[in-house]
Amino acid sequence: MKEISVQELKSWKESGKTFQLIDVRDNYEYEWNNIDGTCIPLNTVLDNLDRINREGDVVIHCNSGNRAVALIDILTNRHGFNNLINLKGGIEAWAEEIDSSKMAY
């Protein structure tokens, strides 16, 4: 599985690189704090596959990385995605290394 660090993601954002960022946390988690991107809660992803790009880089994240890793495995092995990247450490790592105002729960 491909992974990206929060430092690399920050560089991508600052450079204007084209990619899709998907947050698979629940809506209340996203509303509490987020790093932009599209919120598609984990329990709704399979009903929203059309919202996930099949071309180009797609970074998927959650709070710590566990939900994102499980989802990437399912989407890769059962739905043919080959462009998904896990944000290593999720928003917890983002809060710790990039922006402490995004502190996790």
Domain ranges in the chain are: 2-102
What pLDDT does 1 receive? 93
Note the Cα 54 to chain centre separation in Å.
Answer: 15
Secondary structure letter of residue 101 according to DSSP: G
Strand, helix or coil for residue 1: coil
Identify the three-state secondary structure at position 48: helix
For residue range 15-61, what is the model confidence (pLDDT) as tens digits? 999 999 999 999 999 999 999 999 999 999 999 999 999 999 999 99
State the Cα–Cα distance between residues 89 and 61, nearest whole angstrom: 8
Give the residue-averaged pLDDT of 85-90: 97
pLDDT at 105: 58
Fold category of 2-102 in CATH? Oxidized Rhodanese; domain 1 (3.40.250)
